[in-house]
Structure formats: C-alpha cells, structure tokens
Structure 1
C-alpha cells in the first residue's frame, strides 16, 4: 500500500480494498476556510426564559391528540394544537444544566426566537403586570433576565439577542421604538453583562406570522433597521448588528405559501439600505410533522435521515445565502442563527441517534462553505434540543457536539470530496499547533467503513444500538452523566494502521503530530 508522508489516510467503504480513493496525508490538507473560535453555538428560546406555549411533545402510543389551548403563542401564528404551556427554565439555579452547557465550550448563547418579537421587558423590581401591555404577548422580568446574564457568564458565553418589535414596541406611526431595547441593554450592562450581537427581528421575512404588524414589508424593515443602527451607535457602540435572519427560502417549504413572505432580496434592497456587521439566516431543511399540513411537499421521513439529498440541503441553502451576503453585505461573516432537524420543534426522531448524522455532517459542510457560526436550536427545549427538557439528560447529538467543541479548531481543511456513504471533514486540532482533527461519518447502516492510518492517532467512535436509540456509546462504552451534569472522561483509543469504522457510526480522529502548516 502506498503511503504518503508520515501520516497517511486511505478511505473506503465496505470490504473492497480496490474501491479505495487515493491515499492522502492530513499533514497536507489545504486550508479552505476559517470559522469562529466559537463556531458551534446554541439557542435558548425567549419562551423558555419567560414561560409560555412552546412546541408540544408528540403523543405517545395510545395517548389522545392534544387539544387546542387558550392564549397566545408568543406571536407565532400557527395552529394552537401544536403548542403546550411550559414553565420558565431555571437558568439561575440549575447546576446540572449549567454543567452540561459548560461542556459545550465557551460559545455564543442566543436568546431569541419568534416569542422574543413580542415580549415586554418589565424594567422594574415591582411585581410584573398580570397581563402583558397592549401590543405584547408575554412579559420578561428583571429576575428572569438576570438569570440569562448569569447563565451566560457561568458557561463562558457571549450573549446574542433580538429585540421586541411587535405593535407595542412601535410609535403612533408604526416605526420601531428602541425604548425596550435600550432598557434591556442598560440592565444587562448594570448586571455586568454585555450584549455581544443582536438581530433586530427574529425572521423578519415571515411578517405577521411571527408577531410583526400586519402588512409588514421591506420598506418598513429598512426604516426600522435605520432606527436600530442609530440606537446601536448611540447606546451600545460595541454591539454587532446581525441580520436579516431570514428563513424559509432556497426552495425548502417551512411556512405556508399564502402568508406573504418577504424575500431577503427585497428586505436588503429597500431604502435606506439595511447595513449589518454580520449576515445571518436560519436553516431548516423542512418542517416537522406538527407543521407538515401547511404544505404537502414538506416533511422528511426518518428512513431518509442518512440520504445524501437530505443532507445536501445544507449546502444548497448556504450557497443561496452566500450569494446574497456577497451582494448585500460583502466582507461580513455569515452566521446561521437557527438550525435543527426540522422547524416547528423537530420530529420525534430528532431526539435520537438517527439525527446525529445530520448534526455533524451539517457542521462539516457549513464550515467548508465559509459559515462562521452555527446556532443549534435549541439547548434544552422540544424534540430538537441537545438536552431533554424533562429529564435533563443529554441526547445523542449532544455527545457529538461535545467532541466537536473539544477537538475541532477554527481552520477548516480540505479532506477531499465526499463520495458514497463515507463523509470526511477536517479542521485543525483545537489547541495543538500543527495538529489535525478529522471526523468520519459512516452513513452505511449495514457495512463498516475502512480507514488506513499511518502514524499515531486517537480515535473517538460514537455508535448506538440502533438508529432510534436515545443513548450512545463512545468506543463501545455507554455514555452517561452524573446527577450534577458533570461529564465522564471522554478518552480516545490509539489508532494505527487499518481501522474498521462500524456501520452507522461517527468517528473523530486526532493527529497531534500531523505538522500541517495551515494549523498554527
């Protein structure tokens, strides 16, 4: 077998050695992009902070379908049967949650979502109003926001937000009034916190469906963004403006066709031209079963979870928005400020091992596309969360996320073109000059994949008993956390020579001695 350099990698699927691609050396992987040091980030929905009606769990076998509940849905105008009342999350006192979040590494924590568009910040230590003021749908207290700020500090994060923009946050002529944003920013600073970046609106192209005034259009957006920039310059000059934060474009149906979605092209072309420091969009490849009734072409069946056409939607969407970033905000970073298995809370299988393949593959694809930060939605709410909100137990994708955070650095390398069922992505090894990290995703559910390695490496292979499992194994040992949420020691095993990667597995491989000149 031909070896190239001190470290060589020969990748193939199945048992046929003759099907191998030419050997490559991780030490020679070329740089193709660079991501933020905190590339992998996450969302805490505003509805989690204040309490309210969020995506309802799917009925278990034999359980009746949920009935519509009274009350608003934070401005998210979809069938009420999809939601269930939830109490506020305990960000201030839940040690287990903090430890689990801390293990994801210092990163960005975004507190937003459709519910943030219509929340009223009660900037007082007096009891909050029993009902939200006119034009709002929920109330955020000082104590709740103090919990957010303290949580972000405790996990070493950077706070990203969006602001109230509903009818209550507007003047008599319908123009956005920055008073609520000004108060929230001032109170954050008073607590010793800092809003690193902000979108004015969560998903402005969805209009009244997400709590914006009826008839909200591109002209109104441009007008509001001008006011937003003036507020930033005067009151929060260090805060970065992120936007537009659009969703449901690039050909994938995630909203009803009849709601009058305003295209990103129109939002960013209106005068005065909106200016952003970071270009953002939301990516959901489809909607969950909760919302599939809005369009017969929407939805994804679990048996397609590992198919290339499903996974490749991340690429086509990134290409779509990169073109708009280059046209409307050249030179800026690109953030995906929301993404998950599916919009509307995710399908039931979003909580299983089956979705971990999309989770990791998407991170690899989007890094190669030049996306700087990816915010997973959510940390601990609904089926698509990394952590089960009822048990506070990590879901399979959480463990893949922890390994990514620990091993994958910010320089993106070219591990070659993905072909067949074995997908390879590479970045510099975090904290190790010259080192290389590789993630190998075996999408073949029946056959192992083979890797031929020369030189020293450490291997971290994640597997599960089946695709619908709710727990995973690292190198054959089941992963679990203690009651305090502290993780076990995640150790790799030595890897040298021909390696067999199990069917339906995700393996991280580290090469500390690769001497790749692109890895400072």
Structure 2
C-alpha cells in the first residue's frame, strides 16, 4: 500500500521488490522529492496528469470479506494540499483502483465508496477554492458492474461530486492466454466490449448524471500483456478497434496502459523505442476528430469500418481494419445523406491514404510499415514524419490482408462535419 510523505523531517521509505507480497512489492511511501521530480518531468513533456489516490486508509474487514468503514483522508489530503501549494497543475484526482463490484484483491460497497467520494470532493473544493482550475474528481476506476455503478452514480449525482465515471478494460483476458492473437483477429470477440461501453453510456443517460465516461485504463491483456503480442503489430487491431468503439459509445477519454512498462507499453521497456501501437495512437490523434459518424459496411465481417469528422481539416477520416489473413478488400465510399445536394460528394480529385502493415508480413514484428516504409527513429531519436500517399478519390480503397488503413477524404461533405 502506498502512503504519501507528510513531514519532510520524517523517513519516507520507498517501495522494495518483495516476491512474497501481493503485487510483488513492499508497502512504500511517495516522498515530496519524488513528487517534485515527477512534476518537473510532466512540465518538460507537457503531460496531462491524473493521479490515483489510495482509497484504503482506515478501512476494516467486514463479515462478507469486503472492506468497510469510512476512508481516512488525512494522508491523501496532505498530498493534495502540497500539490496545490506548489502550484502543480493536475487534470484530475482519481479515487482508488479496482475496488468496485467484486474488486481485484479486495472490494468496497458502492454506498461507502460514494460517501468517501463526496468527502473527497468537499476537500478538493476547499483546497482549490482560490485556484482557477480545480482538478476533476474521477471514480471509481474499476471494472464495470451495472448494479454497483448504478448505485454509486445515484448516490453521488445530486451533489455533483464526480466529474468522470471511469472504468477499466482488459477485453483480451490474461496475457498468459495462448489464444490472444486468435481473439484479436476475431470480430465477434472484438465486439464483446461493446456491451460494457453501451451499457455504461445508457446508465449515465438514464441516471441523469453530468459525469462523463472515461476508459481510465486499458491494456488489452491483463497481467502485463504478452511479449510479441501486445507490444507488436497485431496489437494495433484490438487497440484501434477499441478506440473506435469507445468513441462510438460516447467515451470522452481513453487511457492506455501503459506508456512504458510490462509488455503492453507504447514504448519498449528496454530500448524506449516506440512499439507499433505508439504509431497507431499518433495517427488516431492526428486524423480522427471528436465527432463520430455512423458507418455501415456491406461485406465481410472481417473488415472493421469506422468514420469520424477529420481533425483540424475538412472532410472525414475513415479507419479500416482487415482481420482476414489471406483476403484483401476493395472498399468504395458513399453517403446516404440527403439533406444537402453536396452531401458525400467528392469535389476534389485526391484523398490521403495511410496503410499500416507488419514488417516482413510478420504479425509479431515490433516494426510497423507506413505505406511500405518502416517507421523508425532517426539518428537524433526523432519520430519519423507520418506521410500519406495521394490517391485519386474515384479509386476504391485497397485494404490488404492483415492491414490497417486510415483514409482522409478532405472533400467528402458529411453534414455533421460542415
């Protein structure tokens, strides 16, 4: 369990590896010095920071095995006050980690969790009362269970204590599963996450809460992922598909586990070089705007098709994923919109295609090709330019087997994007 330094004159012992401990480490303390170092790093990199607070202080074990009793907020309060006093910018404070429903390791009932969140909101309001940008309060950061989440939202919505309803997704199961790749390339398996995303979206609308839905943590396969799967080219199929599905069902923020660490990091743990999902994330960020468009694909279910209004540009961007190992597809784009004579009409002659494939056709490769060229850091460790190829818009989109294609159609006039 983590605690936070409250007195610079008292010893703050760091975490120590301990194989017999539950998560492989001893209890530890986050020191003021370490917190300062982290914020220096955040400032240099422009990182947007959400920090998960320890929600277990002061708990007692109840007869049913869950943890109860009011949360002892004093230790967390000291960190929040120190952070505000130092002028460190926080996007949000998140309460706890995977304690909802059945929990992971332990659990807390929704009513108690709601009571503690309301108390935390009161503290944050008081500490930041003279600071212009108050951080968001984010909870419960667990795995979605409808009844637990419904009770929690009902008990917190009247006080507007929660700004974000967060949940975690590890839809591929354990990283030890020998069938991870088969699952990633199975459209029915990928669709499984839609229930969670759509159900939470409906719950938020039904309860009338003003809170937004976030995927607060998602790494594909739990337990650190799997080397040469969740850190290789094949991982981008589930990752981009889940980004698209999350957007479709109103998720406002999606947090990837992790930037670096274990086998599901966007960066290689040993070399710090980008894994394929890093480049997939960059292309998503560059091309896919916040407005989601309805798409119908007439053809094999091995093609996953999504469309957004283009980001910082005219027109729309398509995302096409071909899960088929042997058969490619020729995709043509049309619009059913009838509100404007120009809806869906391609006024210009070219589009921009970004074709992602695995190096040497090896799904397990940690090198990805963009339009046939390997995406590699240069001599100065700089990210390569992500350049499209220009294609006549009248030509069908060629989606090769086991490939991913972003297509920017700048002249496609979708009414929602005008």
Q: TM-score range by the shorter chain?
A: 0.7 to 0.9
Matched, 1:353 2:233: yes
Post-superposition Cα deviations, 1:98-152, rounded to whole Å, max 9, x if no partner, equal xxxxxxxxxxxxxxxxxxxx311124555743468xxx92111223222332333
Shift of 1:451: 2.6
SS of the aligned residue for 2:42 comes to: helix
Alpha-carbon distance between aligned partners in 2 of 1:305 and 1:148, rounded to the nearest angstrom: 35
SS of the aligned residue for 1:205 comes to: coil
- Aligned counterpart, 1:263: 148
- Name which of structure 1's ranges 157-166 and 173-182 shifts more when overlaid on structure 2: 173-182
2:164 aligned residue (278, 289, 305): 278
SS of the aligned residue for 2:91 comes to: strand
- Aligned counterpart, 1:449: 329
Post-superposition Cα deviations, 1:251-297, rounded to whole Å, max 9, x if no partner, equal xxxxxxxxxxx93344445699784222221112143245x7xxxxx
Alpha-carbon distance between aligned partners in 2 of 1:451 and 1:119, rounded to the nearest angstrom: 52
- Aligned counterpart, 2:272: 392
Distance 1:285 1:329, change over 3 A: farther
Shift of 1:157: 3.3
SS of the aligned residue for 2:121 comes to: helix
2:5 aligned residue (122, 128, 134): 122
Alpha-carbon distance between aligned partners in 2 of 1:509 and 1:174, rounded to the nearest angstrom: 53
- Aligned counterpart, 1:161: 51
Matched, 1:152 2:31: no
- Aligned counterpart, 1:110: none
Alpha-carbon distance between aligned partners in 2 of 1:288 and 1:240, rounded to the nearest angstrom: 31
**So what's the TM-score if we normalise by structure 1?**
0.66
Alpha-carbon distance between aligned partners in 2 of 1:196 and 1:436, rounded to the nearest angstrom: 30
1:425 aligned residue (292, 306, 318): 306
Question: What are the equivalent positions in structure 2 for 1:296-445 lying under 5 Å apart?
Answer: 300-328=179-207, 330-348=209-227, 349-417=229-297, 420-432=301-313, 434-445=314-325
Alpha-carbon distance between aligned partners in 2 of 1:508 and 1:129, rounded to the nearest angstrom: 49
SS of the aligned residue for 2:51 comes to: strand
SS of the aligned residue for 2:222 comes to: coil
CA contact (8 A) 1:427 1:436 kept: yes
CA contact (8 A) 1:287 1:346 kept: no
Distance 1:331 1:165, change over 3 A: closer
Matched, 1:495 2:387: no
Post-superposition Cα deviations, 1:486-506, rounded to whole Å, max 9, x if no partner, equal 211111010111332211111
SS of the aligned residue for 1:285 comes to: coil
Distance 1:326 1:245, change over 3 A: farther
Matched, 1:192 2:118: no
Distance 1:422 1:208, change over 3 A: closer
Distance 1:282 1:208, change over 3 A: closer
SS of the aligned residue for 1:379 comes to: coil
Alpha-carbon distance between aligned partners in 1 of 2:208 and 2:378, rounded to the nearest angstrom: 46
Distance 1:315 1:182, change over 3 A: same
Matched, 1:519 2:414: no
SS of the aligned residue for 2:174 comes to: coil
2:357 aligned residue (452, 455, 463): 463
- Aligned counterpart, 1:182: 77
Post-superposition Cα deviations, 1:276-328, rounded to whole Å, max 9, x if no partner, equal 222221112143245x7xxxxxx853223210121112211112222332344
Distance 1:144 1:300, change over 3 A: farther
Alpha-carbon distance between aligned partners in 2 of 1:180 and 1:327, rounded to the nearest angstrom: 36
Shift of 1:155: 3.2
- Name which of structure 1's ranges 435-444 and 185-194 shifts more when overlaid on structure 2: 185-194
CA contact (8 A) 1:185 1:236 kept: no
- Aligned counterpart, 1:44: none
Shift of 1:347: 2.6
List structure 1 segments (4+ residues) > 6 angstroms apart after TM superposition: 271-274
Distance 1:289 1:159, change over 3 A: closer
Q: Structure 2: which 5+ residue stretches go unaligned?
A: 16-25, 61-67, 334-345
Post-superposition Cα deviations, 1:179-214, rounded to whole Å, max 9, x if no partner, equal 33333223333443222222211122167745x6xx
Question: What are the equivalent positions in structure 2 for 1:134-149 lying under 5 Å apart?
Answer: 137-149=27-39
CA contact (8 A) 1:222 1:272 kept: no
CA contact (8 A) 1:311 1:358 kept: yes
2:368 aligned residue (462, 468, 472): 472
How many residues end up aligned between the 2 structures? Answer: 376
2:114 aligned residue (222, 233, 246): 222
SS of the aligned residue for 2:295 comes to: coil
CA contact (8 A) 1:345 1:384 kept: yes
Alpha-carbon distance between aligned partners in 1 of 2:14 and 2:362, rounded to the nearest angstrom: 47
- Name which of structure 1's ranges 446-455 and 271-280 shifts more when overlaid on structure 2: 271-280
- Aligned counterpart, 1:239: 135
Higher RCO (CA-CA < 8 Å; seq separation 6+)? 1
CA contact (8 A) 2:144 2:167 kept: no
- Aligned counterpart, 1:88: none
- Aligned counterpart, 1:510: 408
SS of the aligned residue for 1:264 comes to: helix
CA contact (8 A) 2:174 2:222 kept: yes
- Aligned counterpart, 1:58: none
